[in-house]
A and B are shown apart, each in its own frame.
Chain A
Amino acid sequence: MTDRALPKSASVVIVGGGMQGLSCAVNLALLGIRDIVVLDAGYWQGGASGRNGCLIRPGFGGHEWTRLFELSWREWTTLSRKLGHNVMFTERGYTMIAETGPSADMLRNASRLHREYGITSEILTPRQLSGVLPAINQACVTAALHQPRGGMAPHHSVMKGYLHACRKKGIDVRYRTAMTGFDMHDRSVRGVYVKDHLIRCDTVVIAAGPQSPGLARQAQAEIDGYMMRIEAMALEPMRPLIGPALALIDSLAYFHQTARGEVVGGTEVPETPQENLRADVPAMAAMARVYTRLFPQLADIRILRQWAGLLHISSDLAPLLGQHPRVRDLWFSAGWSYGFAGAPGAGLLMAKAIARGKVDEIMRPFALDRFEKGNPIEEAGVVMIKN
């Protein structure tokens, strides 16, 4: 994007200019860190951060996720002010739908947990549900959990906000500039290479989404997880039909109607994990089946487009946050499946840990070595296939 020469040194180099990388950069700058460089191999919004479903919710099914996402949700409510740019976060509510008995039980437990953390969350009666979602086909619903303060934000405007804040704070953000190697000394990183140009630095943060495990390997810093493609699609625009965001635990589908009228959402089908950005037919067909069942009015609406995005998925589906246990000064914000909703909070926690050396209680359970220590995170409230 720019022809300026790359700097020779930096305090922190962040690899990946998606939501995670930019949020970490902005929060570091707010804590007084200078000379931050963000490198991104692709174009702005080209990663999962420009391809996601845009959904945001505070409450999940377990303690660890709920604490992390409740913190992140609070950040969302003040994000526009923090970034000096309207990110268009809208609290239109987030409704989770159970279509089977066990999922309904899970939602009831989750609702109790949410209230423990002070999150507004309620199981809707059929009447309340038709108030929130008049167009839904109630015959498909066993139970519905509503978080009225959840919602969504268009990823374009959020990425615009983050980039705007980075530029204002003097952070050097470079797109179409891939990091190609590490400068290592005695199991600690001292810099990164962009082709043969070395940027010396004290700290490297890997927030490279699907490419994170591959980059980690280059520094002999294995991390858990693998690359996976998921897909979404947009229907042609219509006036408002669906108010809140929706997630279906049993059909593994999530969707919402954007402020410009398109119904955007995606689902997953059991397939061998794909490592490419090609959209495929089964996920689109499965999503269409969900729409036909749940919102019969959508049956004859046409699909505008479909796309794929790549994620880094960890064994317990939870993010990997923190310093690598065996390589010094190499940090990760990776393994994100809900990295859009989680970015404002994660950036804050990561920045505090890096700048102040203090790992917050909320962040600690997501440490990279939780698998070898036998502490994977249990979470029933994510809408994601477990491979």
Chain B
Amino acid sequence: MIRIAWNNTTLHASPGDTVAAALYRHGITTIASTRKLHEPMGYSGSYVGGVLARVDGRPNVRLDQQPVREGMRVESQNRWPGASCDLLSLARFLPPRWVHGGFEHGRFTPRRGRAYLLWERLLAHLAGVGRPPPRLPSASERPARKLCVDVLVVGGGPAGQRAANDLARSGRTVALVSRGATLGRYAQAMGIAPAALHGDVTVLSGMELCGSYRCGRLMIAAPVDPERGAVAIEAGRLVLATGKSSMPPMVRNSHLPGVMDAHAAVLLGHFHAVPAGTAVAVVGTGAETMVARRLARLGSGIAYCGDVSGLARIHGHSRVTGIDIGNRRIRCDAVVHAGAWRSDPALAFQARAEGVLQVSDVMAADADISSVGFCHEPDQDIHVPDRMDPALRICPCMDVTAGELMGLIDRAVTDPEILKRLTSCGMGPCQGFPCWESMLALLAKRTGQPVGRLVRPSHRPPRRALTVAQAAGLCDVVEPL
């Protein structure tokens, strides 16, 4: 048994647990809160902001990736006056319009001088989420290394492993990057036996491939562990085996603790023996039955299983207490969604587009990228209800609601780049995925255009994966052009 401190209490955890899993086991589902309105958020598998907390003085650590350690001190952030009581959550009772517009709204605030400086200081405390880490006399860079291969495969699932094996067998040098410490964790959790990896494949595990640069020929992998150095990978080809993620349903309260994507729920059950809930509602676009069966096997009770388009609303204040399916209310303590499934477009976007489709719509034709497995299949459309609930959070970390976006869209602001800039949608820790998928689905529905025709806002590297010290280490391994 390992003991960790969560805010003011001591909890027991099992070796191999992540902090998020250990907390969930103890029924602690609220980890963080949204940035402006202090709505509760937890481990969802969708929103990074829900799992950020302070660990041993280090702010903004992802608890779903952080293994437990004896004596670890974990504190929730963005609360005042203290971890156990957050008076700032009263902000929820402000009229929604007051908090529209990201943090750059100057309507009611002083225009300059001392009064402005005071207001700004208050704003900075409210907006800053976490306290800075403790002072150090000096800090050292994390030395990076460089790797040159013929092909880089991203994603350690069965499809990625198969692709890496085939390429290695045909004599190519191959590297495989996987976010998890071990490969194919989700497949394993779904009961699929792992295959053996070809001995010549270089495996970079516990790393996030967080950016593709120079038309996809230079990639940066950021280790989840801040003590390790980054890897710069030069590759002739990029193979994406990054699978798909389930998009949170577009109904009210889909950001609440207890709403989880199928991956997160199955991983919790399989690797940490933590059931998603005693009464779980599983919704999806076809995979829900399989996921529900698996969750039941892993100890969850299933209260409902059905198509996501029937879901009308999620109920709850600090966590899920029920759902409305059509006119029926079902009590449940968790909602697991298995679809709509969509691929994270960031890496391909960065390799192909100018970074932004500005004056010239230049797309690099020479980027050699392909996708395999689930990632290769077409993305599914997100179901957008005919009557949108304005309180739905499209980008919960930044408190961007459907109401705020609809207000702008209805005033003819229909450029995704501008919607992003006016609301800060997608500018929080997830950097646009899944929030822009929901934003674009809403925009498409509202303006009657197909989603595929809309221009995406720019997906920018290195997407909250690389630390400053890890990035500094790259100075010595990547030459300027």
Contact = CB atoms under 8 A, between A and B. Distances in A.
B128 A86 contact: no
A51 to B, nearest CB: 9
Contacts of A284: 462, 471, 474
Contacts of A288: 141, 468-472, 474-475
A80 B355 CA distance: 32
Contacts of A89: 112
Contacts of A139: 138
Given A239-B130, A281-B218, A299 B213 contact: no
A173 to B, nearest CB: 13
Interface in A270-309: 270-272, 274, 276-289, 291-292, 296-308
Contacts of A241: 132
Given A1-B415, A296-B139, A259 B464 contact: no
Nearest to B57: A300
Interface in B188-218: 211, 213-215, 218
Interface in B313-372: 354-356, 358-359, 362
Contact of B125 (A46, A92, A239, A276): A239
Interface in B373-422: 412, 415, 417-418, 421-422
A223 B87 CA distance: 59
Given A296-B136, A298-B468, A91 B112 contact: yes
A62 interface: no
A304 B469 CA distance: 14
Nearest to B122: A259
B468 A292 contact: yes
A302 B468 CA distance: 6
B469 A236 contact: no
Contacts of A303: 462, 464, 466-468, 471
B67 interface: no
Interface centre among A80, A261, A271 (most CB of B within 10 A): A261
Interface string B86-107: 0000000000000000111011
A205 to B, nearest CB: 18
How many interface residues does chain A have, given as a range? 35 or more
A261 B128 contact: yes
Interface in B44-66: 58-60
A88 B104 CA distance: 8
Interface centre among A92, A235, A240 (most CB of B within 10 A): A240
B111 interface: yes
A90 B59 contact: no
B417 A46 contact: yes
Contacts of B181: none
A283 B474 CA distance: 10
A139 B429 CA distance: 33
Contact of A281 (B137, B431, B468, B478): B478
B104 A157 contact: yes
A300 B468 CA distance: 6
A86 B133 contact: no
B460 A307 contact: yes
Interface stretch (A22-30, A36-44, A334-342, A361-369): A36-44
B421 A156 contact: yes
B124 A282 contact: no
Contacts of A308: 355
Nearest to A45: B421
B121 A297 contact: no
Nearest to A89: B112
Interface centre among A50, A259, A280 (most CB of B within 10 A): A259
B417 A281 contact: no
B117 interface: yes
B9 interface: no
Nearest to B124: A240
Interface in B432-481: 458, 460-475, 478-481
A301 B359 contact: no
Interface string A145-181: 0000000001011001000000000000001101000
Contact of A87 (B106, B412, B469): B106
Contacts of B58: 300
B458 A307 contact: yes
Contacts of A80: 106, 111-112
Contact of B354 (A41, A278, A283): A278
A115 B89 CA distance: 48
B468 A301 contact: yes
Contacts of A142: none
Contact of B129 (A137, A156, A238): A238
A372 B104 CA distance: 44
Given A88-B104, A90-B120, A280-B213, A211 B359 contact: yes
A296 B109 CA distance: 34
A135 interface: yes
B106 A292 contact: no
Which A-B residue pairs are the 5 nearest by beta carbons? A86-B106, A239-B128, A288-B471, A296-B139, A261-B128
